[in-house]
Amino acid sequence: MGHLGLTPQSINKFGTYTVRAKEEAEAQKLIEDAKMLEEIGCFALVLEKIPATLAERVAAEVTIPVIGIGAGGGVDGQVLVMHDMLGITQNFSPKFLRRYADLQSIINEAVQQYIEDVKSGDFPNEKEQY
Could you list the beta-strand ranges (E) of the chain: 2-5, 45-48, 66-69, 77-78
Distance of CA 72 to the CA centre of its chain: 13
How far, in Å, CA of 66 to CA of 60, rounded? 9
Is 48 one of the annotated active-site residues of the chain?
A: yes
Buried b (16+ CB within 10 A) or exposed e, 59-71: beebebebbbbbb
Cβ atoms of 77 and 64 closer than 8 Å? no
Active-site annotation holder among 48, 61, 116, 126: 48
- Residues acting as catalytic residues: 48
